[in-house]
Structure 1
Amino acid sequence: MLRLNLSTEPRWLDLAHGVRLLVEPLTTAIMLAARSDPTIVAAAGNTEDSTSNDDLARIVAKAVARIVVKDWEGVGDEDGKPLPLTPEGIDALLELWPIFEAFQTKYIAGALILDAEKNA
């Protein structure tokens, strides 16, 4: 049974190491917008040096996160001072393996699993 959550309100997503992201629900519109991200377009068009699935997953996760993340908690500089949310900060955060893996598993994977079931 497919369970629909019709809420359009952002929700807090607990990742790892005390990091939380306030994210919008992952919708078709967001995935389509992410597809238009220049980094995804460039990776998709790169026929000379084919992009690995892992690289593409990282690129897509960052593109989606830059769209859906509206706030964060638990992210600070070297001195522990909270950092403001920026696109560059989101990209840097997702370069940390435990954070990337948690974001993939808890946020993006649900949508992709549903899409795979639809096409099976």
Structure 2
Amino acid sequence: MKLHLNAAPERYELIPGGENDPGITITARPALTSVIEDAKADDSLLDYADEIRALADAGDDAAASAEMIRSKGRVGLMFAKAVARRVIDSWEGVEGEDDSPAAVTPQNIDAFLDVAPIYDAFTEKYLARWLLVQREKNVSAPSRNGTSARARTTAATAKASARSARAGRSVRKAKKAS
């Protein structure tokens, strides 16, 4: 894990620009542990958890089961919005209804992430990076083919395969008398 102690905001290009299109870029602070924990305790997530709990208590109703399955995606969106509201400082390429630059407000951030390509880009280019950091710090070394290929091997390599047992030769030894 590479420690990233700089808490300064960074720029993230969510949607690349073209010739006459500036694209969409955000400036966001790192989603450190305090941000992630605050987002987990966001009122919208807690209220939704109560709804899901009520569905679970409703029993084996097919409609309740279908809603439980759909809830996973909704929780992901709600979590991304909760994080975004806490970290996005500014953006470029986002306009309001009057074609002027949109203000960075909690309501505008929620509307911003309601656009599917924006949500996908935010989770891929910003959120995934910080969730990986959260997972790596919880004592699980990253896999060698992952982003942190410098994790050292802790087990020695086996010298050779073990020989197979010979057929008909495995008999229990008699216990010795005391």
TM over 0.5: yes
- For 2:5, the equivalent position in structure 1 comes to 6
- For 1:25, the equivalent position in structure 2 comes to 30
**Aligned partner (choices 93, 112, 115) of residue 131 of structure 2:** 112
User: In the alignment, is the contact (CA less than 8 A) between 2:33 and 2:134 conserved in 1?
Assistant: no
State the number of aligned residues: 119
- For 1:37, the equivalent position in structure 2 comes to 42
Q: Could you say what secondary structure the match of 1:52 adopts?
A: helix
Question: TM-score when scaled to structure 2?
Answer: 0.61
Alignment of 1:1-120 (within 5 A): 2-16=1-15, 18-46=23-51, 47-49=53-55, 50=68, 52-116=71-135, 118=138
Counterpart of 2:83, as a letter, is V
Q: For residues 12-55 of structure 1, what are the alpha-carbon distances to aligned partners after superposition, in whole Å with 9 as ceiling and x for unaligned?
A: 11111611111001100001111221101112232123462110
Cα distance between partner residues in 2 of 1:52 and 1:83: 30
Uncovered stretches (5+) of structure 1, i.e. residues with no partner: none
Uncovered stretches (5+) of structure 2, i.e. residues with no partner: 17-22, 56-67, 141-178
Cα distance between partner residues in 2 of 1:110 and 1:64: 13
Question: Shift of the alpha carbon at 1:87?
Answer: 0.6
Question: Shift of the alpha carbon at 1:86?
Answer: 0.9
Cα distance between partner residues in 2 of 1:87 and 1:56: 17
Cα distance between partner residues in 2 of 1:11 and 1:69: 10
Moved over 3 A (4+): 113-120
Superposed CA RMSD: 1.9
- For 2:171, the equivalent position in structure 1 comes to none
Question: TM-score when scaled to structure 1?
Answer: 0.87
Structure scoring higher RCO (CA < 8 A, sep ≥ 6) equals 1
